[in-house]
Structure 1
Amino acid sequence: MSKVIITCAVTGGAHTPSMSPHLPCTPEEIADQSIEAADAGASIIHLHARDPDDGRPTGDPAIFQRFLQRIKGATDAVVNISTGGGGPTMTVSDRTKAALTLRPEMCSLNMGSINLNLSELAEKDRDWKHDWEKPFLESTKDLVFKNTFADIEWIMENIGANGTRFEFECYDVSHLYSLRYFADRALVKPPFFIQTAFGMRGAIGAHPEDLMHQKRTIDRLFGNEYRWSVLAAGVHQMRINTMAALMGSNVRVGLEDGLYISRGELAISNAQQVAKIRRVLEELGMEIATPDEARQMLHLKGGGDVGF
């Protein structure tokens, strides 16, 4: 078994500021928590940006720049910029502007459109800090995160032209087949970093059988041309990551995917989640990959060839 790559998804665009006082929203908070996560053992930092005034997701490259410079100066972690950018209501060109402009080593790429329903998060009685939060969550019941074949092809051709490689986010079995289609057209080349997502409303479930089915499908479609990674939402995060790691997977944690460190207890930072999964994996006899080892495993271009 090779060393395990830990990715930390620091803030995302699904959770809102009122859900946890520990969710980083300003550029300073995002930078601080990214650096702490890297120090705790994350070799890849997966990043979204938020409006520093109200925590609303944004795709503005200028806001990304405000935390990317600090992260790069303080760590050697691989920076992975989301192509989900400011969220599902934006055009593909707007939500990918940061990845296109800043030319990171890696960016995420959803391998299909998703009916990702977050409306249940609006049902809890909360002291809402901003007037956009609850309506945004409620609206996702009737919202599609659009990533058509044309969108995916545009991202592969334009962002890939900068030497940026992709974390292929696959929320269901069909997304694996879509990736195989683009690979057969030689729009992307191995090794494929396949991030399978479990347990979100609108994605595949988080049962062990779901995990095993995705692994069997990846093996059949991609043979030895891939590196597998797993993320799981909410309460499923640590359990599914541990099972997947025992099956040879890399792992992803972070406040984008789940706000808690244990049942009923909010995580106080991204680093706390990284430290926990690292402790679990090392107790099971696994070694954690450094950023440079992750670069080698994923054939990345290196931190010196980016636009920030």
Structure 2
Amino acid sequence: MKRKHDKVIITCAVTGGIHTPSMSPHLPLTPEQIEAQAVEAAEAGAAILHLHARDPADGRPTPDPAVFARFVPRIKAATDAVINITTGGTTRMSLAERLAYPLQARPEMCSLNMGSMNFSIHPVARRIGEWKHDWEKPYVEGMEDQIFRNSFKDIAHILRTLGQAHGTRFEFECYDVGHLYNLAHFVDEGLVQAPLFIQFIFGVLGGIGADPANLAHMRGVADHLFGRENYRFSVLGAGRHQMALATMSAVMGGNVRVGLEDSLFLSRGELAPSNAEQVRKIRRILEELSLEIATPREVRDMLGLKGAGAVGF
């Protein structure tokens, strides 16, 4: 059944907590750089901006609310895009650290990893010949022995303290089929209500592989668990899989996520000079497929968001 709204939502994940400064000179690190790239991505067509923070001194990921506060309100003032704050952070952050700024900001959206998992890019360290900062190499190599924790209790806590208490809705990040069943558990518990916005994530070491058949399988499982009319899905293809899987998602009636958090490249061997260039590329592809791009106002309606006027920043 065709929905009333079938425009494509573009999410841009601006910097993340996985890549490090030595991997690309274009990765935004300071509050000013994150702000500038986020605003440019919104102007290029991203209706949702997924945001992490970095220590401006050396680019390492940080959960510090004071750093977030240096760019999030400025992005809100400069664009109408939906601001989506991570609750994932990094594998090295505690739950309290990951929630410190979201609980203060009370945004329209937050990301929410739907389970504990191995999550790593440690093989990438072998390809880096020179590191800009002392923290980077042990950080990347150390991912081999790190687990991202989000227990059922952790997830329930986030859903209650952000969702129920403040009206924040979620980008449910599902890195494997089991994460869809975890989400279904919270629907059954009454902690999550439709419309759901589910991010299918492919190609992260520790999660489901970036095979087209896996996208079809995830879609089928989600249909079975939630009913197609009760959720919208988006696709994140990590690294070189970014554009191909995003295109496949759109053809299947889904939405797309791009950004330097997920891939540092624009095409094979070519570093993306900015987040906006990735947004422009996927937008060109979508428009060539005769698909329309959703505006922030339309996204707020599609996902049942509380509106920019109800946030804490």
Residue in structure 2 matched with residue 17 of structure 1 by the alignment: 21
Is 1:288 aligned to residue 293 of structure 2?
yes
Give the SS at the match of 1:123.
Answer: helix
Match of 2:175 among 165, 171, 175: 171
Q: C-alpha displacement at 1:126, in angstroms?
A: 2.6
Q: C-alpha displacement at 1:32, in angstroms?
A: 0.1
Q: C-alpha displacement at 1:286, in angstroms?
A: 0.2
Aligned 8 A contact 2:173 2:198 in 1: yes
Give, in whole Å, the separation in 2 of the partners of 1:199 and 1:249.
Answer: 18
Give the SS at the match of 1:96.
Answer: helix
- Large movers: runs of 4+ above 2 Å: none
CA deviation digits over 1:159-194, x for unaligned, max 9?
111110010000000000000000011101110100
Aligned 8 A contact 1:229 1:249 in 2: yes
Aligned 8 A contact 1:102 1:307 in 2: yes
CA deviation digits over 1:218-249, x for unaligned, max 9?
11111011011110101000001001110011
Is 1:27 aligned to residue 31 of structure 2?
yes
Match of 1:197 among 198, 201, 212: 201
Aligned 8 A contact 2:12 2:41 in 1: yes
1:1-308 correspondence to structure 2 within 5 Å? 2-85=6-89, 87-160=90-163, 161-223=165-227, 224-308=229-313
Give the SS at the match of 2:308.
Answer: coil
Give the SS at the match of 1:3.
Answer: coil
Give, in whole Å, the separation in 2 of the partners of 1:144 and 1:235.
Answer: 24
Give the SS at the match of 2:170.
Answer: strand
Give, in whole Å, the separation in 2 of the partners of 1:257 and 1:216.
Answer: 24
Give, in whole Å, the separation in 1 of the partners of 2:296 and 2:129.
Answer: 39
Give the SS at the match of 1:304.
Answer: helix
Give the SS at the match of 2:75.
Answer: helix
TM-score when normalising by structure 2? 0.97
1:184 alignment partner AA: D
Give, in whole Å, the separation in 1 of the partners of 2:306 and 2:248.
Answer: 31
Aligned 8 A contact 2:119 2:206 in 1: yes
Query: 5+ residue gaps in structure 1?
Result: none
Q: C-alpha displacement at 1:61, in angstroms?
A: 1.1
Q: C-alpha displacement at 1:90, in angstroms?
A: 1.7
Give, in whole Å, the separation in 2 of the partners of 1:291 and 1:56.
Answer: 30
Identity of aligned residues (%): 63
Query: 5+ residue gaps in structure 2?
Result: none
CA deviation digits over 1:131-174, x for unaligned, max 9?
01010111111110111001000000001111100100000000
Give the SS at the match of 1:289.
Answer: coil
Give, in whole Å, the separation in 1 of the partners of 2:181 and 2:79.
Answer: 36
Give the SS at the match of 2:235.
Answer: strand
2:300 alignment partner AA: R
TM-score when normalising by structure 1? 0.99
Q: C-alpha displacement at 1:91, in angstroms?
A: 1.2
Give, in whole Å, the separation in 1 of the partners of 2:244 and 2:127.
Answer: 24
Aligned 8 A contact 2:235 2:256 in 1: yes
CA deviation digits over 1:220-279, x for unaligned, max 9?
111011011110101000001001110011100000000000000000000000000000
